[in-house]
Amino acid sequence: MATSSEDEDRLENEPKTTQGNDPDDGEDKTTFKELGVVDVLCEACEALKWRTPSKIQKEAIPVALQGRDIIGLAETGSGKTAAFALPILQALLENPARLFALILTPTRELAFQISEQFEALGSTIGIKSAVIVGGIDMMTQAMMLAKKPHVVIATPGRLIDHLENTKGFTLKNLRYLVMDEADRILNMDFEEEVDKILKVIPRENRRTYLYSATMTKKVAKLQRASLTDPVRVEVSTKYQTVDKLQQYYLFIPAKYKEVHLVHLLQDLAGQSFIVFCATCNGTQKLALMLRNLGFTAIPLHGQMSQAKRLGALQKFKAQARNILLATDVAARGLDIPHVDVVINYDIPTHSKDYIHRVGRTARAGRSGKAVTFVSQYDVELYQRIEHLIGKQLPKYDVLEREVLVLEERVQEAQRFARQEMRELDDKRKDSKKKKRADDDDRDAENAPGMKNRMKKSKHRE
């Protein structure tokens, strides 16, 4: 398990004595043991330096251990992975069956993070897990599934692929189903897949935990379809953003967005940033531009291969890069520590995404900043966001003069970036062409030689 996420977990689980406004704080001395977690797992938590359970863990674990279904409203970073992982592991200890639990998540990154937690908690007791997500060879995954891991962590699309095409793989012995970030799963049009999965796993004798950051109509429908007599566990009020989060907006003409971004990054230099863009291309272009200006920026978007994405994330986590340019792929579910500032370079089109985006900062009791760029085209979208969070945000103060000084340099950097983008494109096309030509050459060379050898090595007389 990466050290960085360990840090994160520790932070989440530390007693939050600094939060004077939390009424629970005074008696926040509950231990995992008191929640009913068995000793082996308490030791595993101890080994991960988790001393006290987080709020959601305190709420959910005892209920889960009673064998009830749970509907949990909690955000990323609240420690909910452990809230469902611990009860599942405990059940596995009693009855070590294979293909025992299935965790559905919306994104690949999230799936890997959950698996890291399962590995960390379950390795001492020999629990095996498998991550089944897109972008990885089906055959490799089929073999992983054939090994019958205890826990499968999957994105719905790829799991359905295996249920339909991997002969001999069934979930008919499944005992635990977790739908993590259910609202997100449903928003990503996985509704049909989830329904299919629900049809092929046993209904009776199955525990189901449904976690979601928001309670939408679709989630409610899913709840009715999958849960029996659930207990509702809620740790934060709906749509409320954390108090430690300072949110601002910046109303600027669209053509000055780049300059303002650079200015902002300079202004807050030394901190870590996530900059949200609307498109993959946008992240790429901004990353090149920022690099030209000497920033350590790294893009993360859906067109990158899985390995590259994990690599980018790792670099950011390790603080080798301090600016992450992400599309909404990365908007949620990523366990990224050290984010000090969230910049909404492009305003989110779904206002709920705003909550998720800014949820990347001011986590675990720390403070954070969020700045949303609002251009002349974004006013309506911005108003919706204000409506959703129920408050009006202050303006982020900048000195126009200071910003415009940068303009020339930024424009130059942009020109370079555009050129680099073109070159990249050309190279991609070229390499494709070249590869084809190479193949042809090789074939032409090999074929006659091989034939001759065969003919000649044959015995003649």
* 56 in Cβ contact with 79 (< 8 Å): yes
Taking residue 62's Cβ as centre, other Cβ atoms within 10 Å add up to 17
Which residue in the set 89, 152, 201, 371 belongs to the binding site for another protein (CB under 8 A)?
201
Nearer residue to another protein within complex by CB, 178 or 265: 178
Nearer residue to another protein within complex by CB, 20 or 448: 448
CA end-to-end span of the chain: 67
**Backbone conformation region of residue 233, classed left if phi is above 0, alpha if psi is from -120 to 50, else beta:** beta
User: Which one of 329-337, 401-409, 414-422, 448-456 is the stretch in contact with another protein (CB under 8 A)?
Assistant: 448-456
Q: Is residue 458 a contact residue for another protein (CB under 8 A)?
A: yes
Q: Is residue 67 a contact residue for another protein (CB under 8 A)?
A: no
Q: Is residue 127 a contact residue for another protein (CB under 8 A)?
A: no
State the nearest-atom distance from the C-beta of 371 to another protein, in Å: 48
Which residue in the set 21, 397, 428, 454 belongs to the binding site for another protein (CB under 8 A)?
454
The beta strand positions in 105-230, using DSSP E, are 129-132, 151-154, 176-179, 207-212
The beta strand positions in 64-150, using DSSP E, are 70-73, 101-104, 129-132
Site string for another protein, 325-344 (x = CB under 8 A): --------------------
State the nearest-atom distance from the C-beta of 139 to another protein, in Å: 6
Nearer residue to another protein within complex by CB, 201 or 370: 201
Q: What stretch of H or E contains 401?
A: helix 400-405
Which residue in the set 15, 202, 253, 390 belongs to the binding site for another protein (CB under 8 A)?
202
State the nearest-atom distance from the C-beta of 196 to another protein, in Å: 9
State the nearest-atom distance from the C-beta of 10 to another protein, in Å: 29
Which residue in the set 26, 95, 397, 401 belongs to the binding site for another protein (CB under 8 A)?
95
* 152 in Cβ contact with 176 (< 8 Å): no
Q: Is residue 130 a contact residue for another protein (CB under 8 A)?
A: no
Site string for another protein, 139-178 (x = CB under 8 A): xx-xxxxxx---------------xxxxxxxx-xxxx---
Please provide the DSSP assignment of 37-74 as one string.
Answer: --HHHHHHHHHTT--S--HHHHHHHHHHHTT--EEEE-
Which residue in the set 243, 430, 439, 445 belongs to the binding site for another protein (CB under 8 A)?
439
Rg, the chain, Cα only: 25
State the nearest-atom distance from the C-beta of 354 to another protein, in Å: 39
- Calculate the alpha carbon distances from 181 to 74, 104, 118, 359 in Å: 9, 9, 17, 14
* 155 in Cβ contact with 134 (< 8 Å): yes
State the nearest-atom distance from the C-beta of 446 to another protein, in Å: 7
Rounded Cα distance, 95 and 447, in Å: 59
Q: Which of 248, 413, 256, 262 is nearest to 323 (CA)?
A: 262
Which residue in the set 25, 31, 66, 200 belongs to the binding site for another protein (CB under 8 A)?
200
* 253 in Cβ contact with 376 (< 8 Å): yes
State the nearest-atom distance from the C-beta of 453 to another protein, in Å: 7
Q: Is residue 446 a contact residue for another protein (CB under 8 A)?
A: yes
* 153 in Cβ contact with 132 (< 8 Å): yes
State the nearest-atom distance from the C-beta of 177 to another protein, in Å: 12
Rounded Cα distance, 319 and 305, in Å: 21
User: Which one of 23-31, 79-87, 340-348, 450-458 is the stretch in contact with another protein (CB under 8 A)?
Assistant: 450-458
Could you list the residues that contact another protein (CB under 8 A)? Answer: 95-98, 138-140, 142-147, 163-170, 172-175, 199-205, 439, 442-443, 446, 450, 453-454, 456-461
